[in-house]
Structure 1
Amino acid sequence: MKKIYFASDQHFGAPTPELSLPREKKFVAWLDEVKEDAEAIFLLGDLFDFWFEYKTVVPKGFVRVLGKLAEIRDSGIPIYFFVGNHDLWMNDYFEKELNIPVYHDNKEFTFNGKTFLIGHGDGKGPGDKGYKRMKKVFTNPFSKWLFRWFHPDLGVGLAQYLSVKNKLISGDEDIKFLGEDKEWLILYAKRKLETKHYNYFVFGHRHLPMIRTVGENSEYVNLGDWIGYFTYGVFDGEKFELLEYKK
């Protein structure tokens, strides 16, 4: 079979459009390469550092990556998009304009007899109760309706200002593995295995590339990011690997 590709957490637009552009060009080059043998491509959220769909307006920019996704999808290669915590206000723009389905929660897939549970990973597992409460507010229809009344220059500008404060984007935050007893997504995967078996749990959000065994013939995969690691996942029908894009 051809290969299944996975990537997550590009955060295009941060910390500024100018500084984000080289990363966007690098990601487009990666898309150009993987399209040659891709059975499907999964994007697991936070493609943009901020995204909001007004009724007739979307944030400007990102022309290169959007054009490349349109080209690949038009060629017949399926692309699946899972919203992250930075682009959770995505609605139907990708579906209508690019014919790319958008998922707001985990979804199960089966490839070559292997079962996958795929999602961005935010708000899963124990802990992080503050974010979980905040997410409920952000995804509330009234909150989205209220934000839509902000002029885009104001709303997008505010989001970009807050992004500059993000230590993860600026490189000031040192992400470390917390241990299997404290990594929320690992605990989440192990809990899911109590009721159903999956060969692979594939998530983003954590920004720390890793593959960890969580059960018999079951692995948890975090895809890392395209800020400092430039890592992606590939499943060739038999095994799952994490690779670094170095070009």
Structure 2
Amino acid sequence: MRADQVCALFISDLHLQPAHPATSAAFFDFLERHARRAQQLYLLGDLFEYWAGDDDIDDPYHQQIIAALRAVSDAGVTVHWIAGNRDFLVGAKFAEATDVMLLPETWVAEIAGLRVVVLHGDAQCTEDTKYQEFRAMVRQPAWQHQFTAMPLAQRKAIIAGLRADSRKEQGNKSYEIMDVTPQAIAEVFEQTGTDIMIHGHTHRPALHLVDGKRRYVLPDWEADASPPRGGWIAIDAQGNITRHDLSGATIG
């Protein structure tokens, strides 16, 4: 392995959907030009705008995404998946079709001599108590079983209603409420014994340095916007961690 070879790439919050074709194209380009040349790829939640259940896997747009991910897996890249707040219903059928590894919501990865804790990040937004109550409900296996037993069209209608309600509520929530809390982040560091974290969810890309620990926040992707947004984080064979924009350029 070359000293500069990419050991792992990390992305999140692409919110892929047919209505955003430029974002979809940017994702396919990323997989072809960057992900296929890495050893590992970590998808840290909200790859899809929503996922109503694995019985929606035959949707033509979903088939494009699945085929692109499968090509990366077939190229020898280990692809890891952590569920987000939009696509937590991804299950075994999707994992089999893409050959991705479904991880628990908090995972410690050993990469290039580093121990890195990876997660989506929504569970750490503890000030948003209403969302946390909703999250606790929908993450229950009993709720998911009952929901996925509904007809697919009914589920999609319910999800559309929930998304509309969420957009309205976000307009009334403060910046602080929708961000992770220092206490929740400190608890993850303590519980995992790590000092490097990578997460998404907040759409506030940054590197936070606190008490000798590094917390990297991934950007959301919106290539259809002006200016376009998006990017990823990379770890090379020497343990260097770099942030990149959609063009692949390193962000300082």
With normalisation by structure 2, the TM-score equals 0.82
User: Which amino acid is the alignment partner of residue 220 of structure 1?
Assistant: R
1:244 corresponds to which residue? 245
Q: What is the CA-CA distance between 1:241 and the residue it aligns to?
A: 1.6
* Aligned residues: CA RMSD: 2.9
Quote the sequence identity (%).
Answer: 18
What is the alpha-carbon distance in structure 1 between the residues aligned to residue 179 and residue 211 of structure 2?
Answer: 15
- 1:225 is aligned, of 204, 220, 226, to 220
Farther-moved stretch of structure 1 (190-199 vs 130-139) = 190-199
The SS at the match of 1:62 is helix
Query: How many corresponding residue pairs?
Result: 236
Is 1:25 aligned with 2:20? no
With normalisation by structure 1, the TM-score equals 0.83
User: Which amino acid is the alignment partner of residue 11 of structure 1?
Assistant: H
Q: What is the CA-CA distance between 1:230 and the residue it aligns to?
A: 0.8
User: Which amino acid is the alignment partner of residue 10 of structure 1?
Assistant: L
Per-residue CA distance 1:213-238 (angstroms, 9 max, x = gap): 1232x200110111252121111133
CA contact (8 A) 2:108 2:118 kept: yes
User: Which amino acid is the alignment partner of residue 58 of structure 1?
Assistant: I
The within-5 A match list for 1:83-232 is 83-124=83-124, 126-163=126-163, 167=167, 178=176, 183-194=179-190, 197-216=193-212, 218-227=213-222, 229-232=229-232
User: Which amino acid is the alignment partner of residue 146 of structure 1?
Assistant: Q
Farther-moved stretch of structure 1 (156-165 vs 26-35) = 156-165
Per-residue CA distance 1:44-81 (angstroms, 9 max, x = gap): 01011111325x44372233322111001011110001
Q: What is the CA-CA distance between 1:161 and the residue it aligns to?
A: 5.0
What is the alpha-carbon distance in structure 2 between the residues aligned to residue 195 and residue 134 of structure 1?
Answer: 24
User: Which amino acid is the alignment partner of residue 211 of structure 2?
Assistant: G
Structure 2: runs of 5 or more not aligned: 223-227
Q: What is the CA-CA distance between 1:164 and the residue it aligns to?
A: 5.3
Residues 149 and 6 of structure 1, relative CA distance in 2, 3 Å threshold: same
